[in-house]
Amino acid sequence: MNQNKTALITGASGGIGYEFAKLLAKDNYNLVLVARSEEKLQQLKMDLQTGFKISAKVITKDLSKMGAVDEIYNELEKEKIAIDILINNAGFGNFGKFAETTWQKEAEMIQLNILALTHLTKLILKGMVERKNGKILNLASTGSFQPCPLMAVYGATKAYVLSFSEAIANELKGTGVTVTALCPGPTETNFFKAAGNEDSKLVKGKKIPTSEEVAKYGYDAMKKSKTVVIHGLKNKVLASSVRFAPRNLATKISRKVIDEN
């Protein structure tokens, strides 16, 4: 790595994470790219190093597995790589009634969406505070604002991400470190296919934002040290309206929006 500042991105092999990597490389950040796909990460590394003259390091890890975060951090410590920007982008969802879905997938979802995100933040945040400089962006969701029937565990994990991000952002005031929670709605990624919900009313037959648009919005917000940002006017209105609606009504509306039938 050269003397430029360094950003670490989880879930960097595709979608929003991939777009974050390009934005950071364009701004001359060296990169630590984390995801499961070695082949995709190596190609991204080559493209970014060639196109932007930065250094990129690939760490191939499955963050839904116990121990992966410690392994990543140990590698950073061994190579004396200080992280100036942490983007916790990795995550996935699952569709179906909770009584009928597979526990193993949900356990991995909780491990990735909550435990890995929290643990990696814990480990990297200490150095940021010591240096009195750093930025963290956590990928939450418009699903953070209300219960999500048929995606119950996913919605709960994203509610955690939002609450956690807001709380530590408050704790960090005056330290030089900021935390941003990016809350996108449906986005052109592989998310709905992986969740088994390609026919959801959220996406079927609708024009939805690209990963590039969402990443740029979140990146600009992070640079401005904003705490919570919701992508898209419609999503902002819906998130705000939920705050004033009775919880049972918000849950019913969420079910209607998510349900593919």
154 is catalytic: yes
Beta carbons within 10 angstroms of residue 132's beta carbon:
10
Structure tokens at 13: 């092999």
Bridge-partner residues for 188, per DSSP? 210
d(Cα 68, Cα 161) in Å, to the nearest integer?
19
Q: Which of 5, 154, 223, 256 is catalytic?
A: 154
Q: Which of 65, 158, 226, 234 is catalytic?
A: 158
Active site positions, annotated: 154, 158
